[in-house]
Amino acid sequence: MGFLSVWTLAPCLAQTNTKEDSVYFVKINDYFNASVDIETDFETFEIQGDNFDFDIRPNFDFVNKIGIDYRALSVFYSRSPNWGINQDSDLKGDSKSSGFGFSWNTNRMINHISKNKVTGYYLANSADFNPSFVEGENPYVQFELLETSSFKGFHALKLNRNFSYSAFSAQMALQTKSAGSFAPGISYNYYSIDNNTPTGQKSKNLEVLFNLPYYHTFVVDHKWYVNLGVITGAGMTTTWLKTPINGEIVETTSHNFISRISGIAGLGYNSKGFYGGLEGKVHKRYQNQSNNAVKEEITGLAFRVFLGWHILAPHPINRLYDKVESRLF
């Protein structure tokens, strides 16, 4: 979904202000947003110990995402493309990724849920374990059957009514004056890691964090804007691990403290029918195992380019939505 659109379109596009609007933003209630994204927002895993360091990554450089937004609802579908620029399977093996999700953002609440699965990884620092390894010539250590899947979400309360998160995230509102807001809330991630081999480990994990994000939109000049965000969080994770040992499955459970910090920066353009822009995001998740012998870090530096269009929705759809909304809310 198009990201960070924040400035006033032509009067024919904007809606008449409602009691939920303010002089700081205007909603675009009668339009669909359709967008196409290319982004590198996926996680890599780094597991460290006293005598080892594993840097494990999937073999794709970016994923494609298509999305549509209407009123408070946003939905998307993503997958790794089969283009040649995203392939190096002879050295790093094959990787596949697919995911979908939706957001429901009201005037005060932020809600986002997504599901994603990735199959096929390789060891990016294979040279650390093979002195004769030559990059570009020798195959990396591959984990072709390694599969990760996740179900995650976050829910937050926006504190400043003059800031529109719908403008920040999905172009369903237009931020006409610069504003920002804290949005305290909770996030969760239930994910599994499966080697899919008789001797491989399997784990299921549940992490729950309390977060304190701050988002800010700077309206620069008419159709241009800059968005910045910082998200900090801390909480606990529970891991249920199954390990094959001598033909038997040994099950263990552990509880560990985790912390996370993320940063977002975006630059965009929004006109009467077209919007687009780019975004950068960096995040780090740190976990210390209960025995303090192993540290796990999930890090990422992601970039995103997007194009989108405002498309007038059919009148019957707008009328039906208004009726349902008035009865439910």
- DSSP class per residue in 164-210: -HHHHHHSSEEE-S-EEEE--EEEEEEEEEE--STT--EEEEEEEEE
| 18 within domain boundaries | no
| 1 within domain boundaries | no
- Please tell me whether residue 324 adopts helix, strand or coil conformation: helix
Cβ atoms within 10 A of the Cβ of 19, count? 6
**Per-residue pLDDT at 40:** 79
| 5 within domain boundaries | no
- Please tell me whether residue 220 adopts helix, strand or coil conformation: strand
CA atoms of 203 and 148, how far apart (whole Å): 10
**Per-residue pLDDT at 170:** 81
Residue 327 gets which letter from DSSP? Answer: H
Q: Specify the amino acid at residue 86.
A: N
Closest-CA residue to 146 (of 249, 48, 53, 57):
57
Residue ranges of the chain whose pLDDT lies below 50: 1-21, 293
| 183 within domain boundaries | yes
Domain that holds residue 136: 25-328
**Per-residue pLDDT at 5:** 33
**Per-residue pLDDT at 112:** 95
**Per-residue pLDDT at 18:** 45
**Angle at CA of residue 203, ends 197 and 209, nearest 5°:** 150
CA atoms of 166 and 179, how far apart (whole Å): 13
CA atoms of 10 and 58, how far apart (whole Å): 43
| 8 within domain boundaries | no
**Beta-carbon contacts of residue 170 (< 8 Å; ≥ 6 apart):** 1, 2, 3, 33, 69, 74, 103, 105
Instruction: Specify the residue for token string 């007038």.
Output: 312
Residue 23 gets which letter from DSSP? Answer: T
Q: Considering its fold, how many domains does the chain have in total?
A: 1
| 10 within domain boundaries | no
Q: Determine if the pTM surpasses 0.75.
A: yes
| 44 within domain boundaries | yes
**Per-residue pLDDT at 1:** 43
| 14 within domain boundaries | no
- Residue 96: give its domain's CATH number: 2.40.128.100
